[in-house]
Amino acid sequence: MIRIISILVGLFFTVALVWSFGNGALIAISEPAPETAEHVFHKHPKEVHFASDGAFGKFDRQQLQRGFQVYKEVCSACHSLNHVAFRDLAALGYSEAEVKAIAKGFQVPGNDPVTGEAALRPGMPTDYFPKPFANDIAARAANNNAVPPDLSLMTKARHDGGPYVYSLLTGYQNQPAELLKEFPDAKTPPGLYYNPYFPNLNLAMAPPLTGEGQVSYSDGTKATVDQMSKDVSAFLIWTAEPKLEKRKQTGWPVLGFLLFATVLGYMSYKNIWAEKKKKA
């Protein structure tokens, strides 16, 4: 009797689940959700090429250094790099002395050697990049109630990674008239900025790259907004996956070995079973 009741209860829930799914699908087909401004005016990232793209791609060290310079002089005022240590910058082509000089230019949390109290001290190569704000409350107070995200893994955390960051930095613009005409209630609120490459179209971050020459590149490259955006995007691709080149270099020999092992295994199989097939 208990078994019959259990079967009936299970059957009831199965029928209810199928009915709910079918009813939901019918409603979705017959009464589609109204389009929103985000759905209509949100844009996919622009097409942009980075030296690290593709199966044989490698980082452009010169570009990575320029991108780090943009981060240091512009982005570091609001965004942290929690997972990057100063000594990691040696991978960009900086010498040991240059890494020490860069680290010394940042103030990191430490202790007073005399009193033992918390205090700031010049950074060392073993230190990680410091946070620009003491806590989230201070970050919100300085950024229109928004906490700037850490950029260490940003190009891994966002779909299309580098192109997304590049598009966001170069995508600030005035709201198009057709948007306001079609969605009058979608006007960008005060304190926010319209950017069609951001999922909800409006973000609290003001345009960080505002004009040519905002950064003076030591290699003489012209620092246009487009160039600076591309360089810092390339740098963030590196921070998110600093071992990318090594992974690609390792991947090809591994694929070659697997291919060789597959052929060898097939030939061994044919050789071992050849005589037995003849006897059969």
Q: Which candidate, 224, 202, 199, places its Cα nearest to that of 214?
A: 224
13 and 28 assigned to the same domain: yes
201 and 184 assigned to the same domain: yes
| Contact in structure between 90 and 103 (CB atoms under 8 Å) | no
pLDDT at 261: 92
6 and 29 assigned to the same domain: yes
196 and 151 assigned to the same domain: yes
Is 28 inside any structural domain?
A: yes
72 and 203 assigned to the same domain: yes
What is d(CA 193, CA 237) in angstroms, rounded to the nearest whole number?
25
pLDDT at 93: 95
pLDDT tens, N- to C-terminus, the chain (280 residues): 677 777 777 777 787 777 777 766 666 566 665 678 888 889 999 999 999 999 899 999 999 999 999 999 999 999 999 999 999 999 999 999 999 999 999 999 887 777 777 788 999 999 999 999 989 999 999 888 899 999 999 999 999 999 999 999 999 999 999 999 999 888 999 989 999 999 999 999 999 999 999 999 989 999 999 999 999 999 999 999 999 999 988 988 898 999 999 998 888 887 877 666 666 5
Q: What angle do CA 35, 36, 37 make, to 5 degrees?
A: 130
pLDDT at 161: 93
209 and 161 assigned to the same domain: yes
Is 151 inside any structural domain?
A: yes
53 and 171 assigned to the same domain: yes
pLDDT at 29: 64
216 and 187 assigned to the same domain: yes
Is 197 inside any structural domain?
A: yes
224 and 165 assigned to the same domain: yes
227 and 275 assigned to the same domain: no
Domain span including residue 252: 248-280
253 and 274 assigned to the same domain: yes
Is 150 inside any structural domain?
A: yes
195 and 215 assigned to the same domain: yes
Is 96 inside any structural domain?
A: no
Is 225 inside any structural domain?
A: yes
Is 93 inside any structural domain?
A: no
Secondary structure class of 221 (helix, strand, coil):
coil
Phi-psi region of 202 (alpha: psi -120 to 50; beta: other; left: phi over 0): beta
Report the DSSP pairing between strands 202-203 and 193-194.
antiparallel
Is 101 inside any structural domain?
A: no
pLDDT at 277: 63
Question: How many structural domains are present in the chain?
Answer: 3
Secondary structure class of 33 (helix, strand, coil):
coil
pLDDT at 274: 65
